Amino acid sequence: MAMAARRLLSFHLRPPAYPLAAISVPHRRKHEAVACRAAGGKSKARAKARDGRRQQGRALEEHLKRRTRSDAAFDSDLYRRHIHSQHVPVMLGEVLAAFRRPLPLRSFVDCTLGAAGHSLAMMEAHPEMELYIGMDVDPSALKIGQNHIEAFLVSRADNGGDDQDTLQGALRAYTHVKNFKYIKHVLSGVDEDLIVGSSGVDGILIDLGMSSMQVNRSDRGFSVLQDGPLDMRMDPKATLKAEDILNFWPELELGQGACQTYPKNVYWFRRKARLD
């Protein structure tokens, strides 16, 4: 019995086959290797994201060049400053060239404000501007542009320092949810001298047509690439929808409108029949 006890005691006191330090080292190295692999994975992910952004930037630049179809030099930095997630202003350099200095632009009206890409570029290029009026019939688009303009004015005023000539706070800016056909009414509401006086307006910009802010939303009904209600109202408060015209207008009136708008569309009645 005593011999068995001594054997059991000697078994428990026997030193381990491997030192404890030797056992812990491989685990530490394993964790370090895992951490290194994780850090390397994050670096690769960041590099991949940077490459993706560069590729997107180059693709966007080529897309804008094709849309512009102009011989004017493409200013990438200019577009980077004024591109917004909601909209990319088309022919931005050409618009600035049309209003280039040294001709003063103390008053300016943007009849199709949108996301304010053109307007912000004009404000930046013409610090002498004293009066700005932006109009858009689409209230959701105008709200986006209004927010961008307000942020620009605050930033410009904060960075103006003591030079009162560069303080954008001196610029009076107005925005109106209006179709540009009411431009006289809007101008007279801001200042009668803009209409009846001798001051007038130094510059007016009208970017006609739909923008991506309408086309990219299927619920607006402008897109031919996405399903959605046949709405097509620039002003959501307007009562007349495209579906009302197609479903309730007299067929002859529809045909006359189609032929007047598209003279080559002589087979309009066939297309109308497909919609019935």
Question: What is residue 123's predicted lDDT score, i.e. its pLDDT?
Answer: 94
Question: What is residue 251's predicted lDDT score, i.e. its pLDDT?
Answer: 77
pTM (global) more than 0.85: no
Strand boundaries in the chain, DSSP class E:
107-110, 131-135, 172-176, 203-205
Task: Work out the number of other CB atoms within 10 angstroms of the CB of residue 113.
Answer: 30
Mean pLDDT by 10 residues, the chain (276 residues): 40 41 46 58 76 70 61 69 72 88 90 94 93 95 94 83 46 95 95 84 91 84 87 90 87 70 64 63
Question: What is residue 37's predicted lDDT score, i.e. its pLDDT?
Answer: 60
* Domains in the chain, CATH or no CATH each: 78-205 (3.40.50.150), 239-275 (no CATH)
